[in-house]
Amino acid sequence: MSLNRLDKIIALNCNVSRKEARELVKSGKVKVNGNIVLRSEELVDSSADSINVNGFEFASKNHIVIMMNKPDGVITATKDDNKKTVIDLIPDNLMRRSLFPCGRLDKNTEGLLIITDDGELCHRIVSPSHHVYKTYIATLTRPLDSKAIASLENGVVLSDGTQCLPARINYYKDDYGYCCKIKIREGKYHQVKRMFLAVGNHVDKLKRTAIGALKLDESLKPGECREMTRDEIELLFGEDG
Ligand code: URA
């Protein structure tokens, strides 16, 4: 049995925010096991209780959501005749036929990748309109000057004329060299690498460290993965730190 707050379950299953879920409950539009429930804090077992929102009954979909520390050299795809894919790395106990990677990391990009069989959840993570920031650490060839930082923060224009949304930038130098923590909420093709190219720099190494408020579990070695908890799924839609 897995008890969770009613507003949390509704938000996760109905593609609405926690606030919208609370409003639905408050307005009497939610029934649990046939009875109207007006308290969002009510603890419900979504795998056993029937939940009806606005006349629509949803059963717990029993989807699986997996966190992977994607290694360098593996492609983000479900299937490939020649190259190893992230799905090839899933151990038997987590394997499902309909698993797919949520968003895309380049072959040489490492770090946090979500793999799931839940299409709705994936849409909420990748769609820019849902404002889920993805955090990357880019190791750069050259220092980043203030003009380049301002340009990235204001929304850089890529070489093909594509306008990017404003990024959040934290530039620093450490033992690894010139590093930049960059947060973006879009997922255009090679976006981070192209953003740095547009300001005259080059990404030598790229790692995704967080999605929303969910950080990569650094105890996962590259190539390892594990199922995520409900709380971790919720963090995907939390304010990034
Ligand atoms: N941006 C890139 O350039 N590559 C990635 O893998 C992810 C974001």
The answer to whether the 65-128+214-235 and 133-211 domains have the same CATH topology is yes
Q: Interhelix angle for 18-26 vs 6-14, to 10°?
A: 120
Class of domain 133-211: alpha beta
Residue 17, phi then psi, degrees to nearest 5: -75, 170
* Residues with pLDDT less than 70, the chain: 1-2, 47-48, 59-62, 241
Tell which atom from ligand 1 comes closest to the C-alpha of 108: 6
In short, whether 135's Cβ falls inside 6 Å of ligand 1 is no
In short, whether 214's Cβ falls inside 6 Å of ligand 1 is no
Residues in the chain: 241
Bridge partners (DSSP) listed for residue 174? 177
CB 100 within 8 A of CB 126: no
45, 72, 106, 204: which one is catalytic?
A: 106
pLDDT at 125: 92
Give 65-128+214-235's CATH code, choosing from 3.40.640.10, 3.30.70.580, 3.40.50.2300, 3.40.920.10: 3.30.70.580
pLDDT at 115: 97
pLDDT at 119: 87
pLDDT at 57: 76
Residue 24, phi then psi, degrees to nearest 5: -60, -45
pLDDT at 167: 97
Helix (H) or strand (E) holding 18, with range, is helix 18-26
Tell which atom from ligand 1 comes closest to the C-alpha of 134: 8
Q: Per-domain residue ranges for the chain?
A: 3-58, 65-128+214-235, 133-211
Between CA 29 and CA 41, with CA 35 as vertex, the angle to 5 degrees is: 70
Alpha-carbon span 226 to 65, nearest angstrom: 9
Fold (topology level) of 3-58: 3.10.290
Question: Which among 174, 173, 172, 153 is positioned nearest to 164, based on CA atoms?
Answer: 153
In short, whether 72's Cβ falls inside 6 Å of ligand 1 is no
To the query of whether residue 92 is one of the catalytic residues in this protein, the response is no
Say if pTM beats, i.e. exceeds, 0.85: no
- Residue 8 CA, ligand 1 centroid: distance in Å: 31
- Residue 192 CA, ligand 1 centroid: distance in Å: 5
pLDDT at 176: 80
pLDDT at 61: 55
Helix (H) or strand (E) holding 179, with range, is strand 177-184
In short, whether 106's Cβ falls inside 6 Å of ligand 1 is yes
pLDDT at 158: 98
Question: How many Cβ atoms sit within 10 Å of the Cβ of residue 197?
Answer: 15
Tell me: the pLDDT tens digits for 63-77?
899 999 999 999 999
pLDDT at 2: 66
* Residue 109 token pair: 């990009």
pLDDT at 120: 82
pLDDT at 47: 65
